[in-house]
Amino acid sequence: METLEHSEKIIAERYRIIGKLGQGGVGITYAAVDLNSNQKVALKALSLRLTTEWKKIELFEREAKTLSGLNHPGIPRYIDYFQVDTSQDRCFYIAQQLAPGKSLAQWIENGWKPNEAQVRHIAYQLLEILAYLQSLLPPAIHRDIKPQNIILQKNGRVFLVDFGAVQNTYHHTVTGGSTVVGTYGYMAPEQFRGKAVLSTDLYGLGTTLLFLLTQKFPSDLPRQKLKVKFRDRVSISTEFAEWLDQIIEPAVEDRFQSAKDALLALRGEQPSGINPEKMFKRSPQSRITLIDAKRWLFIHIHPDRSPSRLKGFFHFIHLTCKVLLPCSLLLPIFHLLLGVIPVPLGSTVSLFKYTVADWLGKLFPLFVFISIIAVIIFTVFYALMCLCWIDYYLFTRPRPIQISPQDIQRVKLSGIHLPLLKKSMTFCGIRAKSRNYCFGLFLPQAEKEWLVGELSDCLSKLK
């Protein structure tokens, strides 16, 4: 893919390139004009021919998928994701609203020296953006917070851009992220191990704020046991200095645990004693509340007030079996009694002048046939009733479960096959030393995967 900044080239018969905005680890970003709306856009491009790592394509697609689901005034609006094939190459493009203004790095290069109030104002806005990202399903981690990726307008409004390194917590906890991404100096120590948590972005924010206050790259500042020492180089209030000290702590457990916690502390409010990054309803429709309180992980799956069709079908089968069971048992007993009770065969006791013996001779085969059909139907319905029992006692019946981390051997998603319904379902499973625990059968698949990931992550920390 040739350099397009001066080519005025039109991409996909819609976007006309007018200049180059920047180049990162994943793609080149151009300023372009949308010919349909005549609005300026940011067009990020990735060439397949010039890409030496498949991981970059994965990150590019992940960025597009993440951006398509974002809706925040501090994040440029997603427009489109497409590809253009030529005889020599295939290029992928992400079109986004162009954030007006200059990056923080450009402001500093131009001689801007912000005071504490201005830096605080930037911190407030960025924390609100990060708090939004951390409230998503699943939470998103930017992983590359730095001055080049923060756009500042003259009126003080801030935009967060370049989601090329974005990662969600499910991808990390379930699949085990190992790719080291970020920018040296602004990367949290855990990123060098290929790990990212919610407070990882807070470290990048803290070092970015230090860059604004000191006018120096964080890598150029002195350190003591990995901790950046900055107090003798800035003129700020003790309160703000203490807040900065905590947000750039090298150890994850010593930092603020989430953007919401950091925002509360910056406002002078007391953060909660639990980890807010995992205390949220994942969506308005979610039934899960997860609370991470240091040595304990509390999971509350709220009862479903509007059961699914499958659950309703199970309950219908359960009620039907209550009727079929006595009927299928009574018919054979009735036949047995007819065979042992003596009947005066010569007497006429019924309509149409038929004797009792005549009636028995005609109806007994019918009774036998009905009994066989009833037994078959009951057998099928009994199997479904067992599923109702599994539903209630294993997945629906509310009961507290308390497990010691030392007893847990494995956490995974397990499956159950329903041959009669030609359907397979998954549930969350915990294998302990004494017994196995199953739950979450009727949760959405994404929430099951997320929950298993959170449990696995918590278990690895506690052990």
Catalytic residues, by residue number, are: 144
Half-sphere exposure of 271 (CA within 13 A, CB side): 20
* Cα separation values, 182 from 91, 133, 212, 315, Å: 24, 18, 19, 52
**Distant-in-sequence contacts of 332-337, Cβ < 8 A, 24+ apart:** 332/371, 334/367, 335/364, 335/367, 335/368, 335/371
The structure tokens listed for 353 are: 């002048």
Residue 249 and residue 263: Cα distance in Å, rounded? 16
Element (H, E) at 297: strand 296-301
User: Which amino acid, 236?
Assistant: I
Residue 151 CA to residue 96 CA, distance in Å, equals 14
Could you identify the residue written with the tokens 């009574």?
Answer: 330
* Alpha helix positions (H), 268-355: 309-340
Partners of 91 in the β-ladder: 47, 84
Sign of torsion over alpha carbons 178, 459, 206, 74: positive
- Name 348's bridge partners: none
Cα separation, 24 vs 148, in Å, equals 10
